Structure 1
Amino acid sequence: MLFEQIETACVQDADIPWVPFSPYSDQVFVKYFKLDPIRGETIALLKAPATGQMPQHHHTGTVIVYTVQGRWKYREHEWIASTGSVVYEVAGSSHTPQALPGDEDIVTLNIIQGELLFLDERKQVIAIENWRSGWDRYAAYCAANGIRPRDLTAFK
């Protein structure tokens, strides 16, 4: 396909369900907007409670995180991301996300290239997240809830 044939499109938030981010957490949800098998890119919202911590993860590609609401940080850094902030994560970096106490859930828009490798305390890979695992999670959720899945590999 030539780039001239790609249509500009708009995906409505209400058309995509919040999917539990299992098996990692039953309190964290993800809303997938785009799962690109060619570029290995995922565009998604992530919603997490204002308490808790996710496992450490390593990025094989770059990640851009825009904070829609709430406050969070990485245990390994001093900065705090709050509503309106943008975090740029370089390929090859590792972090441990932490929620910071507040009155509202954390919601972030994430543009992820490549894979997220979840690590244990010995820095061994225990799980891999990418566009394919996102599709599998989304498709399984749709099947279990009687929802007709959208083709998230293309904006249509």
Structure 2
Amino acid sequence: MHFHTIDTGIVHDTDLPWTPFAPYSDTVHVKLIKADPVRGETVSLLRAPMGTVLPMHHHGGTVIVYTISGAWRYAEHDWIATPGSVVYETAGSRHTPVTVEGHGDETVTLNITTGDLIYFDGEGRMAAIENWRTAVERYLDYCTRCGLEPRDVTHFGG
């Protein structure tokens, strides 16, 4: 294949379901837009009601988060991300995401994540590892349970 034959692709987020971010939360939902097995990257939307606290996690790679609506922060930091904010998370960082009250009913972010996310339980012990593969598995399991025809989220295109 030559680079001249690679075409631009488009994904309409309305073609993809919001899936519960189980087992971490039944009220937080993720819309997996793209999973790149070669780079170990996912592109997703995350939707969380106000007052949500997600488990502490450690990044094996970088994460870029663009805030679409609502507001959120890390319990370990004093800044607040609001619509239009871009947060860049370095590999090796560890934090606890919290949505911030008083900024609407929910927070929605666009997330570009590379590498593994290691989740910890309340005692600081490793509880799970999330990555592009677990994101695809969650998406496919949801489609199967709900009788939906899954899209191939591992490539852009029609």
Structure 2 length-normalised TM: 0.95
Deviations 1:110-132 (A, max 9, x none): 00000110012443211111010
Q: Mark the runs of 5 or more structure 2 residues left unpaired by the alignment.
A: none
**CA distance 1:105–1:154, shift in 2 (3 Å):** same
C-alpha distance in structure 1 between counterparts of 2:156 and 2:91, whole Å = 26
CA deviation map 1:39-86 (0-9, x unaligned) = 000000000001120000000000000000001100111100011100
Farther-moved stretch of structure 1 (41-50 vs 124-133): 124-133
Q: Does 1:89 align with 2:99?
A: no
Equivalenced residues, count: 156
Partner Cα separation in structure 2 for residue 68 and residue 92 of structure 1 = 25
What TM-score comes out, normalization by structure 1 length? Answer: 0.96
* Equivalent residue runs for 1:1-156 within 5 Å: 1-102=1-102, 103-156=104-157
Tell me how far apart the structure 1 counterparts of residues 93 and 150 of structure 2 sit (CA, whole Å). 33
Name the CA distance, whole Å, in 2 between partners of 1:143 and 1:78: 41
1:51 & 1:68 partners in 2: Cα distance? 17
Say which SS state the counterpart of residue 142 (structure 1) adopts: helix
* Percent of residue pairs identical: 54
Cα offset, 1:145, TM superposition: 1.0
**3-state SS of 1:118 partner:** strand
Q: Which runs of 5+ in 1 are unaligned?
A: none
